[in-house]
């Protein structure tokens, strides 16, 4: 039985020596294998993974490679386990850890910075200068689970204590996986300088992060909150999460004019861009008023031409974010704990961990209008029947 030297365990939470884990081979090829349960070091805990949500970035990692960076290169055929949006239960404590207790339910952030570079010391651990340098003799302490180290499509994983977010016992496993998504939306608004109640926001793209951005902006008091996208069913969820107006850009020939009309004929204060569409950046900088702010939260799939002259002439501020930095997950979890919005509205499907390939197909191909697909390591009979 699992009992590494210096690691605190509990007879109430027995941990096996081996676990099931999905491993990436060639692009798009996942195989369920047997791996040793990892061992937490100083300032780390072992997490029993109870549920993992599938993110669009997981699909990028699995099918294309970047932004995953394993041993300094592409993640293929390196015995690597992807997955990063997970929650679970603390199962063992590394040396000296007393901040969390065994049996405590937590959600996790992805990034644990090195703690010693300039950016980490500023609290910008998602921009750690030592990103990916945690192999062999080059160990700077940085981790990004599911990007530079093994991720969550398995039964157990090690996490730095700085990445843990305690969650309420009343929160379901599925909702717990969405703390990271809501945290990314919160980080977007944090980086825009702190949303002031009564100011106007446009969110472009009703994917999981975009929908959470609507919910967080409304919970922070923004008005109006306008959501743009192409799918009426997702725009409807946006309304349920607090959007004051929605615009289907397939039905609206001039989305910029439509947004301004909904905002009293003028540009908005903030835009959170979550669509990754080629036209999105130029649309966003034309939606904001002079001196407005735009946050880019989506990875574009191609080079995007941008009207820099318009940005400069109008003193527009452009920000990019990566993940859920500056402890935004803690603030997002507090909102969710208070029921300020219902994050579960974006959860659509649950599958057992053993059936990860089907879950990925649902997420990738949007089968049955899938938005957020979750896999669970342990499912009861009723849950399995519902998934089928």
- DSSP of 140-207: -S-EEBTTTB--SSBSEEEEEGGGEEE--TTS-HHHHHTHHHHHHHHHHHHHTT-PPTT--EEEE--S
Query: How many CB atoms lie under 10 A from the CB of residue 251?
Result: 10
What's residue 307's pLDDT? 96
pLDDT tops 90 at residue 141: no
Band (pLDDT 50/70/90 cuts) for residue 140 is confident
Buried b (16+ CB within 10 A) or exposed e, 210-220: bbbbbbbbbbb
pLDDT tops 60 at residue 171: yes
Instruction: Tell me the C-alpha distance between 285 and 162, whole Å.
Output: 35
pLDDT tops 50 at residue 184: yes
What is the rounded average pLDDT of the residues 270-298? 96
Instruction: Tell me the C-alpha distance between 31 and 25, whole Å.
Output: 7
CA 46 to chain CA centroid, nearest Å? 20
What is the rounded average pLDDT of the residues 77-88? 98
Residues in CB range of 122: below 8 A, 6 or more apart:
none
330-385 tens-digit pLDDT: 999 999 999 999 999 999 999 999 999 999 999 999 999 999 999 998 755 444 44
pLDDT > 90: what percent of the chain?
87
> Hey, is 90 helix, strand or coil?
strand
- What is the DSSP pairing of strand 143-144 with strand 111-112? antiparallel
What's residue 38's pLDDT? 97
What's residue 135's pLDDT? 62
What's residue 323's pLDDT? 87
The HSE-up count of residue 372 (CA atoms within 13 Å, CB side) is 28
What's residue 19's pLDDT? 98
What's residue 26's pLDDT? 98
pLDDT tops 80 at residue 158: yes
- What is the DSSP pairing of strand 134-135 with strand 138-139? antiparallel
Domains and CATH numbers, the chain: 18-110+145-166+342-387 (3.90.180.10), 184-320 (3.40.50.720)
Token pair 């001039």 in the structure block, residue: 254
Cut 0.85: pTM above it: yes
Residues in CB range of 118: below 8 A, 6 or more apart:
129
What's residue 194's pLDDT? 67
For 384, counting Cβ atoms within 10 Å of its Cβ (0-12 exposed, 13-18 middle, 19+ buried), the class is: middle
CB 156 within 8 A of CB 40: no
What's residue 174's pLDDT? 97
36-77 tens-digit pLDDT: 999 999 999 999 999 999 999 999 999 999 999 998 899 999
Whole-number average pLDDT of the chain: 94
Rg (CA), the chain: 21
- E strands, the chain, where? 18-24, 30-36, 44-53, 85-93, 105-108, 111-112, 134-135, 138-139, 143-144, 156-160, 164-166, 201-204, 225-229, 245-248, 268-273, 288-296, 317-320, 347-352, 372-376
pLDDT > 70: what percent of the chain?
96
CA 93 to chain CA centroid, nearest Å? 25
pLDDT tops 50 at residue 388: no
203-234 tens-digit pLDDT: 999 999 999 999 999 999 999 999 999 999 99
């Amino acid at each position: 039985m699992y009992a590494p030297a210096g690691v605190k365990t509990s007879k109430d939470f027995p941990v096996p020596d081996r676990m099931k884990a999905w491993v990436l081979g060639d692009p798009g090829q996942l195989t369920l294998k047997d791996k040793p349960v990892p061992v937490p070091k100083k300032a780390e805990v072992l997490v029993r993974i109870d549920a993992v949500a599938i993110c669009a970035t997981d699909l990028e990692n699995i099918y294309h490679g970047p932004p995953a960076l394993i041993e300094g290169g592409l993640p293929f055929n390196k015995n690597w386990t992807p997955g990063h949006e997970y929650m679970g239960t603390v199962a063992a404590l590394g040396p000296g850890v007393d901040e969390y207790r065994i049996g405590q339910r937590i959600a996790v952030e992805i990034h644990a910075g090195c703690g010693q570079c300039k950016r980490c010391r500023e609290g910008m651990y998602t921009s750690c200068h030592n990103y990916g340098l945690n192999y062999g003799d080059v160990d700077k302490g940085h981790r990004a689970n599911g990007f530079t180290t093994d991720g969550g499509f398995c039964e157990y994983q090690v996490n730095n204590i700085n990445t843990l977010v305690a969650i309420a016992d009343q929160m379901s496993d599925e909702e717990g996986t969405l703390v990271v998504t809501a945290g990314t939306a919160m980080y977007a608004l944090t980086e825009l300088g702190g949303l002031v109640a009564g100011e106007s926001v446009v969110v472009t793209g009703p994917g999981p992060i975009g929908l959470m951005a609507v919910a967080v902006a409304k919970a922070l008091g923004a008005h109006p909150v306008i959501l743009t996208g192409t799918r009426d069913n997702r725009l409807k969820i946006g309304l349920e999460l607090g959007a004051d107006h929605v615009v289907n850009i397939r039905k609206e020939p001039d989305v910029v004019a439509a947004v301004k009309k909904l905002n009293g004929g003028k540009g908005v204060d903030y835009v959170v861009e979550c669509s990754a569409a080629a036209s999105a950046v130029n649309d966003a900088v034309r939606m904001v008023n002079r001196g407005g702010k735009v946050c880019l939260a989506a990875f574009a799939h191609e080079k995007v031409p941008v009207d820099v002259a318009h940005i400069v002439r109008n003193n527009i501020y452009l920000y990019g974010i990566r993940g859920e930095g500056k402890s935004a997950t803690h603030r997002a979890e507090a909102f969710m704990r208070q029921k300020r919005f219902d994050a579960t509205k974006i959860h659509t499907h649950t599958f057992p961990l053993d059936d990860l390939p089907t879950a990925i197909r649902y997420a990738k191909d949007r089968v049955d209008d899938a938005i957020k697909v979750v896999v669970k390591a342990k499912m009861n009979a009723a849950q399995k029947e519902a998934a089928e």
